[in-house]
Amino acid sequence: MKTVVTITGIRPDFIRMSTMFKTLDENFNHILIYTGQHYDKMLSEVFFKELNIRKPDYNLQIGGNNAEHFEQQSVLTTAIIDLLRGEKLEPDIILFLGDSNSVLAAVPLKKEGYRIGHIEAGMRSYDRKMLEEINRVVCDHCSDILFVYHEDYKQQALLEGISEKNVHVVGNTIVEVCKPIVECLVQQPKKYNQILLDIHRPENFKYKDRLTNILDYANYCSKRYKLPVKMLSFKRTQEHITKFNISIGDIEVVDLMSYKKYLEEVYNSLFIISDSGTAQEEPALLDTSVIVPRDFTERSQSVENDCSYMLDVNKPIEEQNASFSWIENTERSIKTTWLGNGKTSDFITNILLEIL
């Protein structure tokens, strides 16, 4: 039986890989390595039970010391090579998903002669100030097999000189993960009783004017639609709100929540305001609109299919009327076909069985 190693570093990637892990377990000698890049309570035993994810075979614990990204990278590089050598692991392929700092481990692994696969390949925001953009580009060009969510991403890979025979369009892993939760939620009518706010990207929280404008926008939306705004509590965002002495007005700060609870909150929101990448996908499945306070997005299909609206954070409230027209457009219909048919894990597994 062929050996497949998966290396996963952050909570969103565990979510997106949760079905994939099970499929790999059924078809390969699957070794799950957790880098420990995310180490908070939301990656506790409760989280793994909720999504029925088995415990990782190895935990490298690189994130617990609040190290800088480059410090984490140097520790991770050594830790992974030492683990593979020390445990005499000989994978036929090593799989990464996404664009966290953990995927940069593909560089030393490629140099050591390991075969690399990248799930969620080909995405581009074209913003090299964004750390994730650098990570995903580097991982793509170290990979022997690229699994892309959409034909657009395949074309991007080809434009960058990656061989077409190495690129496979498989759809988005999030569909198969969300499907059972969505099917339960849609049995009940939407409440439309809140606006959910999620700001955690450095491009927003590090700059006082941007962070202030986003919070002002959220407060204005609260008044315009007569709904409470619930803001997810991300440590660094809250620290910068305090540092800049910014008033959050009537916004309620709430703790991070389980994945199922998060989807429930998204489902019952009139719309959400989020700078998250994945939050431009899951809400589409829940028929919930997303205001995206970013300059660029790697998920343009979400915008093209009427799920997301790109908010110019540099504009004051009086110049944001177009966003309100978009929110209030009753003829707009969110489309989901761009996410795939919910069989991504099977597609990837079959390709691996054939290639390996």
Q: pLDDT tens-digit profile of 140-188? A: 999 999 999 999 999 999 999 999 999 999 999 999 999 999 999 999 9
Higher pLDDT, 46 or 219: 219
d(CA 257, CA 211): 23
Q: Find the mean pLDDT for residues 28-34.
A: 97
* Mean pLDDT score across all residues of the chain: 94
pLDDT of residue 312: 97
What letter would DSSP give residue 188?
S
Average pLDDT over residues 117-134: 94
Q: What is the pTM of this model?
A: 0.94
Q: 3-172+340-355, what's its fold?
A: Rossmann fold (3.40.50)
Domains 3-172+340-355 and 181-339 equal at CATH topology level: yes
Query: How do residues 214-250 score in pLDDT, each as one tens digit?
Result: 999 999 999 999 999 999 999 999 999 999 999 999 9
Residues forming a β-bridge with 273: 197, 291
- Among 25-29, 35-39, 113-117, 131-135, the range scoring the smallest mean pLDDT is 35-39
Q: Which of 18, 23, 28, 19 is nearest to 48 (CA)?
A: 18
Q: What residue spans define the domains of the chain? A: 3-172+340-355, 181-339
Query: How far is Cα 130 from Cα 62, in angstroms, rounded to an integer?
Result: 22
* Mean pLDDT, range 96-101, rounded to an integer: 93
pLDDT in tens, 113-122: 999 999 999 9
DSSP string covering 57-114, please? SEE---STT---HHHHHHHHHHHHHHHHHHTT---SEEEEESSSGGGGGHHHHHHTT-
Which residue is listed with tokens 């995927």? 103
The per-residue pLDDT for 63 is 67
At residue 64, the pLDDT reads 58
Tell me which architecture the domain covering 181-339 has in CATH: 3-Layer(aba) Sandwich (3.40)
- The answer to whether residues 329 and 306 touch, using CB atoms and an 8 Å cutoff, is no
Q: Which of these ranges, 44-53, 65-74, 260-269, has the smallest mean pLDDT?
A: 65-74
